[in-house]
Amino acid sequence: MATLEESQTTTGTGSQRPVRVAATLFAICLACWLLRVARPFFITLISAILLAFILEPAVQLFMRFRLRRGMASFLACSVMLGTLYLTLLGAWTQAVGLMADVPNYSKRITELVDTASLEVEQLQRTVEETLVPPRLRQIAPLESPTKSKSPSRNKKAAAAAGANQPNAVQEVRIRQEPGDLVNLVWDSLSKFSDALLMASFVPFLVYFFLSWQDHVMRSLLGLAGGRQREILNRSLQGIADVTRAYVVGNFLLGVVMAVVSSLFFYFAGVPYWEVAGPISAFLSLIPYLGLPLALLPPLAAALPVFASWGPYLVVSVGVAVLHLVCLNLMYPKLVGSRVHLNPLVVTLALMVWYILWGGAGLVLAIPITAGMKAVFDSVPGWRGYGRLLGD
| Tens of pLDDT, residues 321-344 | 888 887 777 776 666 666 777 778
Domain that holds residue 105: 34-116+203-223
337 in a structural domain = no
| Tens of pLDDT, residues 261-313 | 889 888 888 887 888 888 888 888 877 777 888 888 888 877 777 767 778 88
1 in a structural domain = no
In this prediction, residue 101 has a pLDDT band, given cuts at 50, 70 and 90, of low
383 in a structural domain = no
Q: How large is the average pLDDT for residues 166-176?
A: 44
Q: How many residues does the chain have?
A: 391
- Greatest mean pLDDT range, 149-163, 332-346, 353-367: 353-367
What is the predicted pLDDT for the residue at 147?
44
State how many domains the chain has: 1
Position 185 pLDDT exceeds 60: no
110 in a structural domain = yes
What is the predicted pLDDT for the residue at 106?
66
Q: How large is the average pLDDT for residues 41-51?
A: 86
Q: How large is the average pLDDT for residues 210-233?
A: 76
Q: Say if residues 335 and 253 touch (Cβ distance below 8 Å).
A: yes
Q: How large is the average pLDDT for residues 122-128?
A: 76
Residue 335, Cβ density class (10 Å: 0-12 exposed, 13-18 middle, ≥19 buried): buried
208 in a structural domain = yes
Q: How large is the average pLDDT for residues 236-245?
A: 78
Position 361 pLDDT exceeds 80: yes
Position 143 pLDDT exceeds 70: no
In this prediction, residue 145 has a pLDDT band, given cuts at 50, 70 and 90, of very low
Q: Say if residues 205 and 44 touch (Cβ distance below 8 Å).
A: yes
Position 372 pLDDT exceeds 60: yes
CA count, 13 A, side-chain hemisphere, 93: 10
Taking the C-alpha atoms of residue 218 and residue 291, their distance in angstroms, rounded to an integer, is: 44
Q: Select the more confidently predicted residue: 82 or 219.
A: 82
48 in a structural domain = yes
Q: Which of 168, 205, 210, 193 is nearest to 56 (CA)?
A: 210
What is the predicted pLDDT for the residue at 183?
61
Q: Say if residues 178 and 171 touch (Cβ distance below 8 Å).
A: no
In this prediction, residue 144 has a pLDDT band, given cuts at 50, 70 and 90, of very low
| Tens of pLDDT, residues 195-217 | 777 778 888 888 888 888 777 77
95 in a structural domain = yes
Position 109 pLDDT exceeds 70: no
144 in a structural domain = no
What is the predicted pLDDT for the residue at 54?
78
In this prediction, residue 187 has a pLDDT band, given cuts at 50, 70 and 90, of low
Q: Is the pTM of this model over 0.85?
A: no
Q: Select the more confidently predicted residue: 80 or 195.
A: 80
